[in-house]
């Protein structure tokens, strides 16, 4: 089995190093994220590529503690830890703007996570699309009502971001085989 990613100069592999060390972080320090870092994350997210450059997304950055607690219960499991994160990004898209809204919003959420990692922050994706808050209401609808969002959008995910309160080893040794490339 041949492994992709041969050692080279640091400049050649900055993205590869980010990908190797990034892990989902579910425990955060009680430390606010500096405005400059939040601005960098948002600029990167807003510069994300999209199908036909339609940019069918809206991004909410929530830093207020009470709102974060309410977002952390937006689905029965999997995001309760998010109330400890100093910021939660809500990534929502408009299906009527682009049939590729799910893909485009996924790119935005991934860019948020990668820029957070580059800045020394941790992050974790919380899936919302296709999940239910209760038997009567979807997680997307719960969030839209909570934040008084446009009813034409659909929430894809929420991404927690903050300074990690846990250390996880990167996945430097995970082999990636060319057999996955056809």
Mean pLDDT of the chain: 91
Query: Do the beta carbons of residue 60 and residue 92 sit within 8 Å?
Result: yes
Percent of the chain with pLDDT over 90: 76
Strands (E), 48-176: 57-62, 87-93, 122-127, 154-162
Give the domain ranges of the chain.
26-180
Q: Could you tell me what percent of the chain has a pLDDT over 70?
A: 88
pTM for the model stands at: 0.89
pLDDT confidence bin for 168, thresholds 50/70/90: confident
Whether 9 has a pLDDT exceeding 50, the answer reads: yes
Confidence of residue 1 (pLDDT cuts 50, 70, 90): very low
Give the pLDDT score at 78.
83
Average pLDDT estimate for 49-61: 96
169 — pLDDT class (breaks 50, 70, 90): confident
Residues 6+ apart with CB under 8 A from 92: 57, 58, 59, 60, 105, 140, 143, 144, 149, 153, 154, 155, 156
The answer for residues whose C-beta is within 8 angstroms of residue 159's C-beta and 6 or more apart is: 88, 89, 91, 109, 112, 113, 123, 124, 125, 126
Give the pLDDT of residue 20: 84
pLDDT at 21: 87
Tens-digit pLDDT profile for residues 95-114: 999 999 999 999 999 999 99
Give how far Cα 26 sits from Cα of 3, 64, 80, 161, 179, Å: 30, 18, 9, 9, 32
Using CA atoms, how far residue 157 sits from 3, 38, 113, 139, in Å, is 32, 18, 12, 10
Fold designation for 26-180:
NADH Oxidase (3.40.109)
pLDDT tens-digit series, residues 109-145: 999 999 999 999 999 999 999 999 999 999 999 999 9
């Amino acid at each position: 089995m041949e492994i992709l990613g041969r050692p080279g100069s640091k400049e050649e592999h900055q993205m590869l190093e980010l990908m190797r060390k990034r892990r989902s972080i579910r425990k955060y320090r009680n430390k606010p994220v500096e405005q400059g870092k939040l601005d960098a994350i948002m600029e990167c997210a807003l510069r994300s590529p999209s199908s036909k450059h339609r940019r069918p997304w809206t991004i909410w950055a929530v830093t207020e503690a009470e709102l974060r607690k309410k977002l952390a219960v937006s689905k029965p499991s999997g995001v309760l830890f998010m109330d400890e994160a100093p910021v939660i990004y809500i990534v929502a898209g408009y299906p009527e703007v682009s049939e590729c809204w799910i893909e485009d919003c996924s790119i935005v959420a991934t860019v948020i996570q990668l820029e957070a990692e580059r800045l020394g922050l941790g992050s974790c994706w919380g899936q919302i699309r296709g999940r239910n808050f209760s038997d009567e209401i979807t997680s997307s609808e719960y969030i839209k009502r909570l934040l008084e969002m446009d009813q034409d959008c659909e929430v894809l995910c929420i991404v927690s971001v903050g300074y990690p309160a846990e250390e996880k080893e990167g996945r430097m040794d995970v082999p990636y085989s060319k057999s996955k490339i056809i």
